[in-house]
Structure 1
Amino acid sequence: MTEQGGPKKQVNSFDVARLAGVSRSAVSRTFTDGASVSDETRKKVIKAARELGYRVNVLARSLHKQKSDLVGVVAADLDNPFRAEQIDLLSQGLLERGFRPILLRGDPSVAVADHIGSLLQYSVAGVIVTSDTPPEEICRECLEHGVPLVVVNKRDPGAPVDRVVTDFDSGGKLAFEHLLACGCRKLAVVTPEKSSYSINGRALSFERAANDAGIPVIRIGWGTQSYEGGLLASAYVARVRGEIEGLFCTADYLALGVMDGLRFQHGVRVPEDIQLIGYDDIVQASWKSYDMTTIVQSRRDLSETTLDLLMQRLENPDLPQQVTVCGVSLVQRKTTFGAT
């Protein structure tokens, strides 16, 4: 007998079977999707389970079946509105498809390979990575264990895993063409000091388009991809404002800091003194205090494509490697004057 105040005995399937007056296998079938069990038996088992407070041990079941309904999601920069919305959409999408997400926050002190390795211990059905590009070795380990891996907006890791990327080549070119159409001939790009694969790709495509047109570009690599990084970068932009007519910020979160720094710390008007365009179209970009022209990459399209690739891989593990490119577009607001 358990002493008062002591630990409560964990209820198991034998206890439920005993109270319901059915076999243990009937209890197992009741809590197994698609298994055959009569309505009468199901009602007895559910009633007994509720009375006893029984919960299915999903992890134990997954170890027995060598498979679970858990999907690992490795993500970094969760303070970034783009990333937060992306993870929310991925989580919702997994739940709608009958899977349950496990979120591991990418941290500079923990290698992405270590995160993926820990997820493999839980017999996850699949892994989605939105943080750093995973090393080739851990990608191949996932393949050997039959665990689908989808990487989002990351470079090719060298192993045949599925990838989803947005068309940053077109995005950088769109940004250049819009600033050019707005009459800007002195251009600069603000990007984090240490850029990710996709962020650096945006800056490079902007610079290539400008170079092809014979227009030089000042690259301002400053701080991190954050609001605070933008505030710091704004000080340099203000110092060389006479050399800049049009400014491309490689992420909206960064651009918000640049705008506020220019306007409130350095007395530089946007767009009267410097026209500005961002990238991502986070919710804050459309707020009246910013009303920012930006390149749109749809978090919903990106998330749905990621989940589609994962489901296809689960359904058919022998599919060839898939790389899907999601398109981008431009939305003009009030940080640029529009075509002249």
Structure 2
Amino acid sequence: MTGRRPTIRPVSSVDVAKLAGVSQSAVSRTFSPDGSVSAATREKVLAAAAALGYRPNRIPAIMLSGRSHMVGVVVGGLDNPFYATVLDRFAVALREIGLQVLLVQVADSVALDDALDQLAGYRVDAAVTALAVGTQRAADALSALRIPIICFNSRLTSPWISTVQSDNRTAGRDAADLLADRGVRRPAWMAGPRANAASQERGRGFAERLAARGLPSPTLLRGDDTYQGGQDAVRRLLSTSPPPDGLFCGNDLMACGAIDALRQAGGLSIPRDVRVVGYDDIPQASWQSYDLTSFDQQVERMVAATLDLLAGALAGPPGPTGGRTVRIPVRLVPRGSTRQGG
């Protein structure tokens, strides 16, 4: 004779209420971000929930309020320490203000476009990301989700999409001034992919200030925002042209790859033969082997500005947030790769 296995019923809020000696509504209010209960009631409910292993079902609250208290954090290109740092700052800050994090990973480290399908499939109140909106088509599609989206360094905005930007063009100008002051006469610019709007702004500021200083337009090298991309771009250049004496790179990973290629393939010394400037001030920039002059995007300030925009977007009923742009100044971090005299 075979017996039927007993059905294991999940613990409900009714069970918690009975054990705690409170009403079911008190249990619901305890686990609601906007709920109001006394400290004593909260303590009894949480103790009963812990004893029973109760986990609240958030779906009814989402259906009633239209808010999930979840924010999608879209990440890509985590091989770049800059994005890993931003992810860590976002996750900690969102948890501290009582929001749950839904991690959405995309393959593209430049643009937010690849996140469309995943964001559309989840009930999140908003999305934040260090990636940019790459195309108008993607901006329109993201806006159609009707949730506030706040991203870094995006050229495109909409009533639903706001951006926090590093002051990319000013950084490019400052890089040109630094290299010109160090005696550079054959400048080069290592750009990221064409879809990278921030890289384009950095290169534009660099070329503008070089022209204003009476220097030639920079030789253009193009990489794919990675260490290998920086190496490959320099090796291609060295196979056809003399090396520059000053190089500004769109990010630090490319700059590290470029430095190694200049040394290994070109037999050149940094900074004696080539002065190199990067961008992002990742931990590797301070390593002795690179000692890389870089620009600090001030991630803490960018994240704080993002959270301010997010708080404003979530303060009222769901609706468009106005498509704001906040620009954060960068900080030049000089190191040995641009040292005077080599």
Contact 2:108 2:114 in 1 (8 A): no
Structure 2 vs 1, CA of residues 218 and 8 (structure 1 numbering), >3 Å: closer, same or farther?
A: farther
- Counterpart residue number, 2:207: 207
**AA paired with 2:324?**
Q
TM-fit CA distance, 1:269: 1.0
**Structure-1 separation of matches of 2:293 and 2:38:** 60
- Counterpart residue number, 2:143: 140
Gaps of at least 5 residues in structure 2 are none
Deviations 1:69-121 (A, max 9, x none): 11111122111011110111111111111112212112259x94563454355
**What pairs up with 1:124-163 in 2 under 5 angstroms?**
124-133=124-133, 135-143=138-146, 147-159=147-159, 161-163=161-163
Structure 2 vs 1, CA of residues 251 and 63 (structure 1 numbering), >3 Å: closer, same or farther?
A: same
Structure 2 vs 1, CA of residues 3 and 290 (structure 1 numbering), >3 Å: closer, same or farther?
A: same
**Structure-2 separation of matches of 1:301 and 1:37:** 35
DSSP-derived class of the 1:57 partner: coil
Structure 2 vs 1, CA of residues 241 and 23 (structure 1 numbering), >3 Å: closer, same or farther?
A: same
Contact 1:248 1:277 in 2 (8 A): yes
**AA paired with 2:336?**
K
Structure 2 vs 1, CA of residues 169 and 245 (structure 1 numbering), >3 Å: closer, same or farther?
A: same
Deviations 1:167-224 (A, max 9, x none): 1110100000000000111111112354501012111221122123332234333331
TM-fit CA distance, 1:152: 1.3
Contact 2:106 2:114 in 1 (8 A): no
**What pairs up with 1:45-60 in 2 under 5 angstroms?**
45-60=45-60
Contact 1:117 1:138 in 2 (8 A): no
**Structure-2 separation of matches of 1:207 and 1:300:** 29
Aligned residues: 334
Deviations 1:253-308 (A, max 9, x none): 11011112222343211111111111111121111121111222111111111111
Structure 2 vs 1, CA of residues 236 and 97 (structure 1 numbering), >3 Å: closer, same or farther?
A: same
**Structure-1 separation of matches of 2:116 and 2:8:** 34
Contact 1:164 1:324 in 2 (8 A): yes
- Counterpart residue number, 1:324: 326
- Counterpart residue number, 1:183: 183
Structure 2 vs 1, CA of residues 32 and 157 (structure 1 numbering), >3 Å: closer, same or farther?
A: closer
Deviates more, 1:59-68 or 1:31-40: 31-40
The percentage of aligned residue pairs carrying the same residue is 33
- Counterpart residue number, 2:296: 296
- Counterpart residue number, 1:18: 18
DSSP-derived class of the 1:155 partner: coil
What is the alpha-carbon root mean square deviation over aligned residues? 2.8
Contact 1:189 1:249 in 2 (8 A): yes
